[in-house]
Amino acid sequence: MTRLRLCYQTIEFEKIDIHLCTLRNRQEFHDPDGEAEKLGISSASWPIFGVVWPSSIVLAHYISKYNTATKRILEIGCGTALSSLLLNKQQADITATDHHPQAGKFLERNTTLNEDDAISFVRTDWADEDDDLGEFDLIIGSDLLYEDQHIELLASFIDQHARTACEVIIVDPGRGRKNKLTGSMQALGYSASQFKPEHTDYLKDDFKGYILKYERIA
């Protein structure tokens, strides 16, 4: 990471401060050994994991007041893993995943920066059916629906790691694919709802997306 230009910021959640080391901007790129390229990550998409997106801030604010007691939680496509870092600060049982080869390194760095215990991290692809993640009570994610072909993969990955009774919370900024994901989740037996987040004055701009919730009851 030494060849990358970085920045540091603190995001506040009432009395909790989460400190983040991120990429300076979306122009950063460093893949000298072609590790990301071998995973199908282009130079244009390489920096996406390493900046803080509005959807991730919305998710973190929403999950900060959510009942996570006794729940085993999975954050998928974690990127800078803001929600995972916050949940870890709250002593929740959190595991993070991302496809990007640098995500785990940034997560480790930021966990240390926040002086917290290590967060379980698995680098995995949504098409991977052989990971050892296990099953979860609550699955969360933000800004995941970039391509149409991702929808079925995402729904299947969620279902693969959902316990019989499971809640799913996805924050989508409005890329036009949320209804397709909802259809896929309903076909797998989940109930669905969606709503606009309230009080997003912590963002610089108006948030035009939705919080998507899916639930399966045992």
Q: What angle do CA 40, 29, 149 make, to 5 degrees?
A: 30
pLDDT tens by residue, 15-27: 999 999 999 998 8
At 1, the pLDDT band (50, 70, 90 cuts) reads very low
Dist. CA 191–CA 172, nearest whole Å: 17
Please calculate the CA angle 60-169-151 and round it to the nearest 5 degrees. Answer: 120
Query: Which pLDDT score is estimated for 32?
Result: 84
Render pLDDT for 55-81 as a digit per residue (tens, 0 to 9): 999 999 999 999 999 999 999 999 999
The pTM for the full model equals: 0.95
